[in-house]
Amino acid sequence: MNIEGIDHHQVTHVPIVTCGAYVLTNNYGPIIVIFHQFAGLSRGPTIISAAQVEAFGNRVNDRSVRVDVQGQRINTNDGFELPLHVRHGLPYLDMRPYTDKEFDSLPHVVLTSDVDWDPSTMDHEFPTFSHDNPEQFFDATSYDNGTNFDVFGNYIKGTVIASARLLQDDPILQDTVLLDHILGRGSRFRS
């Protein structure tokens, strides 16, 4: 298998494996997590597909607790809560190799299916941005953003008590005409 990322960068000839690791949960202590159909990068950090984990019935919330108090955790379909740590803006699941004793004595929690993983099973496009109907858009001008301003930045809660239009190119004359207009006086200058 080849793994493709940003700007068509590829890691080629990656084997698909079943693997496991020791993880400390938030609610039940240490466990062994099992990943089936996993990209077997043999060294260094690896990437876990949140979509692949969720496709097996787990809930992944990789948002920082600074923006979502329920964030930074994987809730497994059998009740375990795995902590995600956010470092430099990226979520990490701390794992390490397990010992034979740990493998024999700790609960095994399967995070991904042993059936061939097809990422396209998670594909979905909203109808407003459909490639089949690119002209179908909704009118955003009626959107209420809950503030005193409309979507164009215009203040909508006040009453306009005066308006002015500049009629001349001379900056001094503009200021005088504008001031006279605002104060309701006739212009002192006539063309």
**Cross-strand bridge partners of residue 21:** 33
DSSP conformational letter for 135: T
In this structure, what token pair is assigned to residue 187?
């212009």
Element (H, E) at 183: helix 171-183
Mean pLDDT of the chain, nearest integer: 81
Asked whether 93 and 23 are in contact (CB, 8 A), the reply is yes
Tens-place pLDDT, residues 43-64 = 667 778 899 999 999 999 999 9
> How many other CB atoms are there within 10 angstroms of residue 27's CB atom?
11
Domain ranges of the chain: 3-118, 141-191
Residue 97: its pLDDT value, please?
A: 93
Pairing of strands 108-110, 85-87: unpaired
